[in-house]
Chains A and B, each alone.
Chain A
Amino acid sequence: MIYEEVEVGSRARRTLTATTRVLLALKLDGPLLVGLALLAVYGLVILYSASGQNMDKVLDGAMRVALGGIAMCTLAQVKPSFLRSISPWLFVIGCILLVVVDVVGYIGKGAQRWLDLGIVRFQPSEIMKLAVPMTCAWWLQDRAIPIDTRSLIVLTFAILIPAGLTIAQPDLGTGGLILIGGLMVLVMAGLSARIMAALALLGVVAAYFGWSFLHDYQRQRVLTLLDPESDPLGAGYHIIQSQIAIGSGGIFGKGWLNGSQGQLDFLPERSTDFIYAVIGEEFGMVGIVLMLLLYLFVVARALYLAIEMQDTFGRLLGGSIALTFFVYVFINAGMVSGLLPVVGVPLPLISYGGTSMVTLLAGFGILMSLYSHRKLIGS
């Protein structure tokens, strides 16, 4: 009996050690991996309902998760020094591609976000979501922290140029996210509170003048947020229907596959940008809070990993990836529940489609690489 117990206990300890050893060998972070996997599975479960029980779409979503997972695992193997050294080149190539996309779009007289390379179509702006914070962190690696004025000016341009090119496509959502990704690096690099206040003021002024440069549909989205009932069948329709979906879900929801707003097509874009409302309708407040807790766990773990980093590049990039991830969640949840204007920002890891799944997981792959290789770069 005693022998048996010892046998079981020792085997269990050995198994645990084996898992840790595998994760260490793969340069992956266990808790972060579990958090991300739970979110992806939650996303696939809700996608089955949101897509009208379309198994093809769920399989396609799973394919994207797998693709992102591969990208994450691959990037986790790459040495941080290599990542750091390619950052400026990635940035330059990305900017050139953005210009190409803008020119093609201008000639084609329409919105253009894709670059068609024959076999693969990809969005250069998606690369810039990672390339901009990487470049900012690269610049600050050997420079003074807290950030000095010269670095601030250089990095302001490094952020505004790609963000501006993306907004010109026009893609306000992604442009904004690029801006935020870069800004988060600056914040973590000790941007002074006075400059942040000045930036906020500048933002208000820019918004005032930028208003005239916005496209009609972009302006409409902002106006609609202020008063959705003014145009219930037009631009206000999205917001009204998503609020009805969330509100009618109540605390426990209507049940999986039973949300009438989603199942009967009242909710637009319900498997992509508005999937948050499907969760709210079918799983209620309980379902959303559960999801938010998962997100918070991922953000907290990512932030913890960033704190544990030992070089400036790793810390700043890691902090930016963690905080930007939360900003994605907040913008999407805020827009679907009627707190923010409708901008095309998907709910990370849960919304269907696009290339954002790959970019997001690639970002976490970089984070894991930075963390798992830290002792090699350390003192």
Chain B
Amino acid sequence: MSAVRIKDRWGEQRLFEQRSLIAAFVIFALTSVLVGRLVVLQVVRHDYYTELSAGNRVRLEPLPAPRGLILDRHGKVLADNQPAFQLELVREQVPDVDATLKRLVEIGLLPADDLDDVKKLIRSRRKFDGVPIRLRMTDEEIARFAVHRFEFPGVDIATRLARSYPHREIAVHALGYVAAISESDLKRIDTGAYAGTTLIGKLGVEAAYEKELHGTNGSREILVNAAGRSVERAGAFVPDLRRVAPVAGADIITSIDLATQRIAEEALFERRGSIVAIDPATGDVIALVSRPGFDPNAFGRGLTRAEFAALNENIDRPLLNRALKGAYPPGSTIKPMVALAGLAYGVTTPEHSRACGGYFTLPGSRHRFRDWKPRGHGRVDMLTAIAQSCDVYFYDLSAQIGVDRLAEFLAHFGLGALTGIDISGEKRGLLPTPAWKRQAFSRPADQVWFPGETVIFGIGQGYLLATPLQMAHAAAIIASRGKSYQPRLVTALRDPVTNETRKLEPKLIEQVEIAQPDAWDVAIGGMVKVMNGGTASRSQAGAKYQIAGKTGTAQVFSVAQNAKYDESKIDERLRDHAWFIAFAPADAPKIAVAIMVENGRSGSGTAAPIARRVIDTYLLGAPTTELPPPKPIAGAPAPPPTATE
């Protein structure tokens, strides 16, 4: 250990050389392993890796097709696509997202309520994608952002095509709207075909003709890097990138007449109600109004939670399409049809008259069915009964026809059934029969059909319910003397590129036949008389054409036997609904309308003047009368504060 061994220099040299030789062999062997691996990767599996490499860098990007336009019958635009300015944020370019959003709220470009939703949205997208955080910016907001732009790296204004409804609330319940594709939408659409589409039609024409409006999305291949970001590069590794052009959606030509629709909407301003106008010769819907409405543009840009709650919980229910879904007792508007039923079944004749003493009693009963006119109308025939809306006459007639026959007859006018209009959401209303009553009620006592229920059926009260669309449809059938056309909103589809128009044929459902030869003349004559000395004669005054109409005032609130209906003593929302159905010109009808004003109190006072303006606009181009101011209610208490707000 202490002694230094004499080193065997030659032995050491030999050992080192021997080891070096072995090392050289090992190095050679290991290098062969590396080359062998190269052979496996670059020769044997070359094709496989080439494919993976190509798949890595090419991505398919959808090109959304422009959505078709919606036009009125004269080609006026009801819905189109407008470039909209929106604020977009690219997460990876923003130093501090929370601080940036806070600052945007401070300068008033972002509502504070939306902050959580916007943050969620930003998190849900890839960090290099532009996330729209504020849509539909006004010019003033764009200017305000421009001033502060230096404060917001990664936030910029982008232009996108957005659905636009230039007339805002006008015809919203007919057109529907577009909104973000929901989870339930995803279940029924072909998600592949909708790649790249962000909005989908909800309700109305937008939903019913979604397939035609949507068109066919195209696609293009883009070169992407590892982060999935599109890159523009030239080089041998750039493959031929394919592109499939999108096919634009078809333009939809509706039967709506924008001018008529607008006047009708305005007539119901600050009221609840509905107006439907139909061309009796085709079933084309000229106007379809449900008030209050809402601005469909708000849905396209995405409603905030608060905005949707405000709409959804509004006591006036602006989201409810009253024209299709509002089922109301139609009141006296069904009297011309009851008269037709009487003639059709030969129960009475036009000339037959009876005395009206202000009430009607069934044989063997003491119950008095009162007329709206307490002292009665005196002796009335069919024409006068329609013109004066004599309840007693129709109590009697209805009792003679019988409930089953009456219901069967009214079914030909579309009551109690879907009209088949080409947008969805329609309600059937209710056409009551003893059979219906037996299965509709559970208590045996309720299942009995009382003779009195047949009596009030004749004046459109009781269980009978109809939608404004059904009543307009019925008015159109009377106007065309029995021709029942399926109501429709869309009349043609137009190719946006070739302008080639494909017309859709109107569909005749049935021809209502009545054996009595002059039955239609009598019913229409009665409705003409309504306008001439009858209940709605004020609404005919000064018109260059003849209207045939029928007023209706439907009870919402039952008045006890022997008690008097006193308007001033009941809640505004329990007041009578005002109805009016009409068509004009009476001898060659071009338009049939149904007006329904919720709690409008009087068909003649409230609804009929609206019909006059609507018909004026359609036939003459503009209204020739003014709406009368609402009739003051004598001794009315102040409405409860919650009534309208």
Contact = CB atoms under 8 A, between A and B. Distances in A.
B56 A257 contact: no
B233 A263 contact: yes
A285 B42 contact: yes
B236 A248 contact: no
A13 to B, nearest CB: 34
Contacts of A247: 41-42, 45-46, 48-50, 52-53
Interface in B191-224: 223-224
A54 to B, nearest CB: 15
A288 interface: yes
A288 B38 contact: yes
A323 B49 contact: no
A23 interface: no
Interface in A239-291: 241, 243-251, 254-255, 257-261, 263-267, 280, 284-285, 288-289
Contact residues of B: prevailing secondary structure: helix
B96 to A, nearest CB: 24
Interface string B132-150: 0000000000000000000
Contacts of B48: 247
B128 to A, nearest CB: 12
A246 B24 contact: no
A interface, by DSSP: helix, strand, loop or mixed? helix
A7 interface: no
A207 B285 CA distance: 83
Interface string B283-313: 0000000000000000000000000000000
A285 B33 CA distance: 14
A296 interface: yes
Contacts of B237: 254, 258-260, 263-264
Nearest to A249: B42
B42 A264 contact: no
16 contacts: A146-B15, A188-B23, A247-B42, A247-B46, A258-B237, A259-B237, A260-B54, A264-B231, A264-B233, A267-B226, A296-B31, A306-B16, A326-B27, A334-B37, A338-B37, A339-B33
Given A146-B15, A246-B42, A251-B43, 13 more contacts: A142-B4, A145-B8, A188-B23, A250-B50, A254-B237, A255-B236, A260-B237, A266-B225, A303-B20, A312-B7, A323-B23, A334-B37, A338-B37
A289 B35 contact: yes
Interface string B3-46: 01101100110011101100110010011011101110111011
- A-B residue pairs, 6 tightest by C-beta: A247-B49, A260-B237, A248-B53, A265-B226, A264-B225, A247-B41
Given A245-B53, A334-B34, A263 B20 contact: no
B12 A303 contact: no
Chain A residues touching B, range: 35 or more
A144 interface: yes
Nearest to B35: A289
Contacts of A339: 33-34, 37
B38 A285 contact: yes
Which one of B12, B24, B57, B237 has the highest number of Cβ atoms from chain A below 10 Å of its Cβ? B237
Interface string A334-345: 100111000000
Interface string B50-64: 101110110000000
A337 B53 contact: no
B224 A315 contact: no
Contacts of A265: 225-227
Contacts of A337: 34, 37-38, 41
Interface in A184-212: 187-188, 190
Nearest to B28: A296
Nearest to B12: A145
Most buried by A among B7, B53, B223: B53
A139 interface: no
A334 B29 CA distance: 13
A181 B233 CA distance: 45
Contacts of B46: 247-248, 250-251
Given A303-B23, A339-B37, A251 B42 contact: yes
Contacts of A307: 16-17, 20
A292 interface: yes
A248 B52 CA distance: 8
B19 A188 contact: yes
A70 to B, nearest CB: 29
A296 B27 CA distance: 8
A83 B196 CA distance: 70
A266 B27 contact: no
A149 to B, nearest CB: 12
A244 B52 contact: yes
B238 to A, nearest CB: 8
Contacts of B635: none
Given A280-B42, A289-B35, A244 B49 contact: yes
Nearest to A237: B226
Contacts of A333: 34
Given A260-B56, A296-B31, A243 B12 contact: no
B235 interface: yes
B53 A330 contact: no
Nearest to B27: A326
Contacts of B7: 142, 144-145, 312
A73 interface: no
Interface string A295-339: 010011001001100001001000100010010001001100111
A246 B237 CA distance: 15
A284 B42 contact: yes
Contact of A264 (B19, B37, B52, B226): B226
B16 A188 contact: yes
Contacts of B4: 142
B611 to A, nearest CB: 67
A267 B7 CA distance: 54
Contacts of B11: 145
B28 to A, nearest CB: 8
Interface in B573-604: none
A266 B235 contact: no
Contacts of B17: 307
Nearest to A187: B19
Interface string A139-169: 0001111100010000000000000000000
Nearest to B51: A248
B5 to A, nearest CB: 6
Contacts of B39: 285
A60 B38 CA distance: 30
A48 to B, nearest CB: 14
B127 to A, nearest CB: 15
A260 B53 CA distance: 7
B493 to A, nearest CB: 44
A299 B27 contact: yes
Interface string B142-180: 000000000000000000000000000000000000000
Contacts of B41: 243, 246-247, 280, 337-338
A146 B37 CA distance: 36
A134 B150 CA distance: 59
A208 B641 CA distance: 82
A145 B42 CA distance: 45
